Amino acid sequence: MRLTRRGMLVGAGVGGALLIAFPLIPRRYPVPLEAGKDEHVVDAFLKVGRVKGGAAGKADCILTVAVPFCEMGQGITTLVAQIVADEAGADWRKVAVEAAPISPAYADPVLSAKWAPLWMPAFASLGADAEGMLARLHAERGPLMITADGTALAAFEAPLREAGAALRAMMAQAAADKWGVGWEECETKDSFVTHGPKRLSFAELLDTAVDYDPPAVPVLRAEPPREKPGQFPEGAPPRHPRLDLPAKVDGSFTFAGDVRLPDMVFAAIAHGPQGASVLSSYDKQAAASVRGLVGVVHARRWLAAVATDWHSADKAVRAMEPRFKADGPIADSEKVLVALDKALTKGEPQRLLAEGDPDALLAKPSLTARYDVEPAFHAPLETASATARLRHGLLELWIATQAPERARRAAARAAGLSRRDVIVYPMHAGGSFDARLDVRIAAEVAAICKVIGKPVQLTWSRWQEALAGIPRTPVSAQLDGALSPDKTRVLGWRARLAVPATAFESGARLLDGWGVTDALDLQDQADPMACEGAMPLYRIPEKAVEQVPLALRQPTARFRGQAHGYTAFFTESFVDELAHAAGKEPLSFRVGMLEGEPRLVACLQGAGRLAQWGGGIEASGQGIACHQMELALGGGRVTKGLIAVVATARSEAGVVRVERLSAYVDIGRIVNIDIARQQIEGGLMFGLAHAVGGASGYAKGRPLAGRLSQLGLPLLADCPKVDIAFADSNEDPFDPGELGMVAVAPAIANALFSATGVRFRRLPLISEGL
């Protein structure tokens, strides 16, 4: 059931209205949006109101769209508003947005279905249909409001369109009654209703329109929102400029760290080494001499100082010289390397996926290669920040989070309150890459606020972000391949991954509120989500994916691209090695194995044209890679995102430079071409950053690279020329946010082989030289 105004608003007046969630098991909840002065609620996603200041002093009708996602630079705020505005026929200049409150109205059944192995691992298949009752009930009960895995369009495009259609029908009915015509004959555009030469503005119709009910079955426009790539070439003015752009350009945009409240104080914090560490001692008297100190707060695993400004608080924390001791495993890279090597060479693999059985063919493989991936840091530009205020028995929380309900629960537990007594104001984040799925800072700031008794803003320093932030898992993999006797085909393939159950571990922390140490107990089990994307699309008669589960005893977390970020590296690097062993040109070698995959073939050919592919021959400095990601929409439907990347590199005076990245992308129907291009370009740069840096080892729980300058990230001068082209497609849209980064590392690795003759089988690929 999709929410409509008639099916959703029940009862007289907005204040007493309820929404009905599902038709089979009706459950009623308060309407999540509140109407302000001169505003009217249309449905869970839309309010309309009149403001002064229009043309010639006339009032304007402003649409305010509720955005139930964390805006972290990906442009989802603009995309959500655009879908509603296009369907309503509204003037883009008269559209506003606000963060949606926590409500079952914004529960995400698509994400619920995708994460079914996390919330019902024993019977995951029963919850894996986004249109099924179990996935919807689980999403609603949470409510599951989490920005992750690119499910926004899949889950919410339809209800957003219906919100716009409801407003369009209400406005059209109001105008049609004035004109004595059928409302279905009226059209809306630029916030006007028209019928032939007749024309009335939304502002003129607003007072009467809100008394009409839209049809029980929403009347959507014939075509869903779509921008064709050819209509908006690179550099062309966008039809829907980003709503957040002007404020970000002039510096007035408010991120989480910009929140200011009356009488607010500032907190700095010190965490223990990564892993199971507890606070053992600190010198409280040493902080007393710091000017502006308000107080000191400690918990089992951290120590915080509060002062009238953050720098004084940080100075006080450092002055106290907190010491921590281990009460369990502490992160140590040497131990991790030993564990991964032992698991890969001597561990017992569990077969997760198979088409045929390649074991006989691979008794003596034609080629075997090992690949390794180091822990990857999120390194968002804005470090974690949250502000809390406790008054009248209510805790208010201003926080940039991808999981507002989980942050609310964490804060409630820390403050000893019911979650109903915690109000979350979702803030925009200055980057995340899934770092803001970690809600520990919500608990920390709530605990500090309760002790201090004043509004408190807690901000992690860059060092604390590196020390306490949980990185992507390290992985080791062995790939085996069997070529036909004439070396024209790959007959057998086996990918064996030594990787902990990182999806289950991070899922337990996020969904169930487990502590970091407790979640480590889940690592040594099979986890198909940790190996997602490892089964190649190539037509290989016998192929299999195996996992060797192991307990690293080092925390791991979700990360942009998820498992695809390393499985694409393994697969596309190994395909290139097989092509070289067979003496074949890498692009045609791939195309020859992609029978029945025309969309991926088109991506490979498109990327080749963009880059003027020269065959990837020795010393050409070109490397190619491709990948596909999928998302189940429910009812057996699946949407796909496909990408092919050609990297061009050169060797100069012993330094290797990536000078060009060319990507051809198929994400189905494109809603906003400008945002799609931004996402892919950003993904390519993110992939470049983590191909050459972004990783760190640990020694006694401390990261060896705890500053941005130590992570080996590319500087602006190091960034290559980027070419992007999109397929013109009518397929279901696919979110490009994670797709852009997954094929970059293997493309660069293959380019480096062409340029230098050396195979790079470890991420990051090079420690210096970009």
Which tens digit of pLDDT belongs to each residue from 462-479?
999 999 999 999 999 999
Structural domain that includes position 29: 5-107+142-225
Q: Write down the pLDDT at residue 653.
A: 64
Number of H helices, E strands in the chain: 21, 30
CATH of the domain at 186: 3.30.365.10
Q: In this predicted structure, which of 7-16, 143-152, 523-532 has the lowest mean pLDDT? A: 7-16
Among the residues of 68-120, which ranges form H helices? 76-88, 109-114, 116-119
pLDDT band at 29 (very low <50, low <70, confident <90, very high): low
CA atoms within 13 Å, Cβ hemisphere of 363: 2
Residue 716 has pLDDT above 80, yes or no: yes
Q: Write down the pLDDT at residue 770.
A: 42
Is 116 contained in some domain?
no
Q: Write down the pLDDT at residue 28.
A: 60
Query: To the nearest 10°, the Cα dihedral for 120, 121, 122, 124?
Result: 70
State the average pLDDT over residues 394-405.
98
State the average pLDDT over residues 10-23.
42
pLDDT band at 618 (very low <50, low <70, confident <90, very high): confident
642 and 576 within one domain: yes
pLDDT, one tens digit per residue, over 139-157 is: 999 999 999 999 999 999 9
pLDDT band at 273 (very low <50, low <70, confident <90, very high): very high
Residue 3 has pLDDT above 50, yes or no: no
Is 209 contained in some domain?
yes
398 and 354 within one domain: no
**Whether the predicted model's global pTM rises above the 0.75 cut:** yes
The burial of 526, by beta-carbon neighbours within 10 Å (0-12 exposed, 13-18 middle, 19 or more buried), is given as middle
Measured CA to CA, the distance from residue 221 to residue 557 in angstroms comes to 41
| Kind of pairing between the strands at 622-634 and 542-548 | unpaired
Q: Write down the pLDDT at residue 55.
A: 58
- Total domains in the chain come to 3
Which residue spans within 88-169 are E strands per DSSP? 95-99
Of residues 18 and 576, more confidence is placed in 576
Q: Write down the pLDDT at residue 156.
A: 98
Residue 242 has pLDDT above 50, yes or no: yes
Measured CA to CA, the distance from residue 664 to residue 668 in angstroms comes to 12
Work out the mean pLDDT of the chain and round it to a whole number.
Answer: 93
Positive or negative: CA dihedral 319, 515, 257, 716: positive
Domain boundary among the residues 417, 436, 468 is at 468
Q: Write down the pLDDT at residue 4.
A: 37
User: First-to-last CA distance in the chain?
Assistant: 52
371 and 384 within one domain: no
Is 133 contained in some domain?
no
Domain boundary among the residues 421, 439, 468 is at 468
Measured CA to CA, the distance from residue 385 to residue 52 in angstroms comes to 36
213 and 167 within one domain: yes
186 and 322 within one domain: no
pLDDT, one tens digit per residue, over 306-337 is: 999 999 999 999 999 999 999 999 999 999 99
Domain boundary among the residues 427, 451, 468 is at 468
Q: Write down the pLDDT at residue 234.
A: 80
CA atoms within 13 Å, Cβ hemisphere of 134: 14
Q: Write down the pLDDT at residue 24.
A: 42
501 and 366 within one domain: yes
285 and 167 within one domain: no
Is 284 contained in some domain?
yes
Q: Give the three-state DSSP class for 325.
A: strand
Q: Write down the pLDDT at residue 12.
A: 32
27 and 12 within one domain: yes
Measured CA to CA, the distance from residue 517 to residue 327 in angstroms comes to 10
pLDDT band at 54 (very low <50, low <70, confident <90, very high): low
Is 115 contained in some domain?
no
530 and 412 within one domain: no
Residue 10 has pLDDT above 50, yes or no: no
Q: Write down the pLDDT at residue 591.
A: 97
State the average pLDDT over residues 261-266.
98
Q: In this predicted structure, which of 56-60, 104-108, 185-189, 568-572 has the lowest mean pLDDT? A: 56-60
Q: Write down the pLDDT at residue 617.
A: 82
Q: Write down the pLDDT at residue 641.
A: 98
Helices 404-415 and 440-452: angle between axes, nearest 10 degrees? 40
pLDDT band at 655 (very low <50, low <70, confident <90, very high): low
Contact 279, 324 (CB under 8 A): yes
479 and 432 within one domain: no
Measured CA to CA, the distance from residue 33 to residue 231 in angstroms comes to 36
598 and 541 within one domain: yes
Specify the amino acid at residue 655: V
Is 244 contained in some domain?
no
pLDDT band at 455 (very low <50, low <70, confident <90, very high): very high
Residue 179 has pLDDT above 50, yes or no: yes
Is 124 contained in some domain?
no
Is 499 contained in some domain?
yes
Q: Which of 661, 648, 688, 664 is nearest to 736 (CA)?
A: 664
431 and 295 within one domain: yes
Cα–Cα distance list, 547 to 130, 167, 358, 574 (Å): 27, 51, 15, 18
Contact 19, 29 (CB under 8 A): yes
